[in-house]
């Protein structure tokens, strides 16, 4: 581990030198490339330097304890030694995590897709709740959201919606949200006060740039049609809605939210690229891919990753057996506790594999 850290520190120092080189400064593309490379290893190098500083202080404190000290000075030195030892162990743990292989998608923007599952209108209303939850979470992080395509019911539920979230590290925070989310509550339409169970599926896709996915125009079939509103009724007579079919894979993406056919096509292509990237990466990942597809599921009540129970005011994530009695706050977008717990569990599992 320490050989690797020493190498990274040397690389960081070399990049620092290059960033002050006049030849590099006058080449914006090279400057950007080196700055990005330095940024990617900066946290681990700074942590390693802090670790070395603590080791030096530990050696100095140990030497001090070997000297003849009065009782008060010895007690202070022992307390300092214990504190530094604890800090050393903490930094060692942090360094192990920082050295874990990075998910290449972690810094990407995301495209999220929410679809109503089992439960009819109530499932669509729950889909709308999830959409609000994620947009509020994004807002709290200073991220930008944009609806790419949507299909609402006549009571403001969401049958399905695709939207982008742009912000540093968005995918790293949201990637564990993929799966079936289950809600237990009394629907507004239920006169007998009975609790119903409904589901919605969430898919989180890393946004793909054109350089990530090459799409041959000859592989696309593009259809245009009139936009429709809730219930399927036509809302205008202009053929602005766009449906794109990727013939080799059979993937179909539709977008009708914009009045401009051109804008709808751009948004549909953004979703298509994300789906093609996710498909390619999933296939390359083999068994992990199969597990992920099962996790996203079909919307059936039995396939769940998280339950939102209104009568008890709790949220339970079944993958890590975590229950929070703060349903209202979670639905307002306060997801950090869940996100941190899921990330920590994932890191712990990866560390076991390394060990």
Torsion of CA 50, 56, 62, 64, to 10 degrees: -110
Extract the tokens encoding 5.
């850290």
**Cβ-contact 182, 301 below 8 angstroms:** yes
Residue 299 has pLDDT above 60, yes or no: no
Sign of CA dihedral 153, 208, 214, 294: negative
Of the listed ranges 51-55, 195-199, 293-297, the one predicted with least confidence: 293-297
Q: Give the integer Cα–Cα distance in Å for 158 and 257.
A: 14
Beta bridge pairs of residue 107: none
Which of 100, 110, 169, 172 shows the shortest CA–CA distance to 135? 110
Q: Give the integer Cα–Cα distance in Å for 42 and 255.
A: 41
Share of the chain above pLDDT 70, in %: 88
pTM for this prediction: 0.70
Which of 188, 146, 148, 187 shows the shortest CA–CA distance to 167? 146
Topology (CATH) of 110-349: Alpha-Beta Plaits (3.30.70)
pLDDT, tens digit, 9 for 90 and up, residues 189-204: 676 778 999 999 999 9
Range 213-226 average pLDDT? 82
């Amino acid at each position: 581990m320490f050989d690797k850290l020493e190498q990274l520190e040397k690389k960081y120092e070399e990049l620092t030198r290059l960033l002050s080189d006049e030849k590099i400064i006058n080449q914006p593309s090279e400057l950007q490339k080196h700055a990005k490379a330095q940024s990617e290893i900066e946290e681990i190098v700074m942590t390693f330097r802090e670790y070395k500083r603590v080791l030096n202080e530990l050696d100095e404190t140990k030497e001090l304890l070997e000297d003849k000290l009065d009782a008060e000075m010895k007690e202070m030195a022992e307390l300092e030694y214990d504190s530094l030892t604890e800090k050393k162990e903490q930094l060692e743990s942090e360094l192990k995590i920082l050295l874990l292989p990075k998910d290449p998608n972690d810094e990407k923007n995301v495209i999220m897709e929410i679809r109503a599952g089992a439960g009819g209108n109530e499932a669509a209303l729950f889909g709308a709740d999830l959409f609000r939850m994620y947009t509020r979470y994004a807002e709290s992080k200073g991220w930008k959201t944009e609806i790419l395509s949507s299909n609402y019911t006549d009571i403001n539920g969401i049958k399905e919606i695709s939207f982008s979230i742009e912000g540093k590290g968005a995918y790293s925070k949201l990637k564990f949200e993929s799966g079936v989310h289950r809600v237990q509550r009394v629907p507004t339409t239920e006169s007998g006060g009975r609790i119903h169970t409904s589901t919605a599926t969430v898919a989180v896709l890393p946004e793909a740039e054109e350089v990530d996915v090459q799409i041959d125009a000859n592989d696309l079939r593009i259809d245009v049609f009139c936009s429709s509103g809730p219930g399927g009724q036509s809302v205008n007579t202009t053929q602005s809605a766009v449906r794109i079919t990727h013939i080799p894979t059979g993937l179909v993406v539709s977008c009708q939210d914009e009045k401009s056919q051109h804008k709808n096509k751009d948004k549909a292509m953004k979703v298509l690229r994300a789906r093609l990237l996710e498909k390619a990466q999933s296939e390359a990942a083999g068994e992990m891919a199969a597990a992920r597809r099962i996790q996203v599921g079909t919307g059936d009540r039995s396939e769940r990753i998280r339950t939102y129970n209104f009568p008890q005011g709790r949220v339970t994530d079944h993958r890590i057996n975590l229950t929070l009695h703060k349903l209202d706050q979670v639905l307002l977008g306060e997801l950090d506790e869940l996100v941190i717990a899921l990330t920590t569990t994932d890191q712990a599992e990866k560390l076991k594999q390394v060990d």
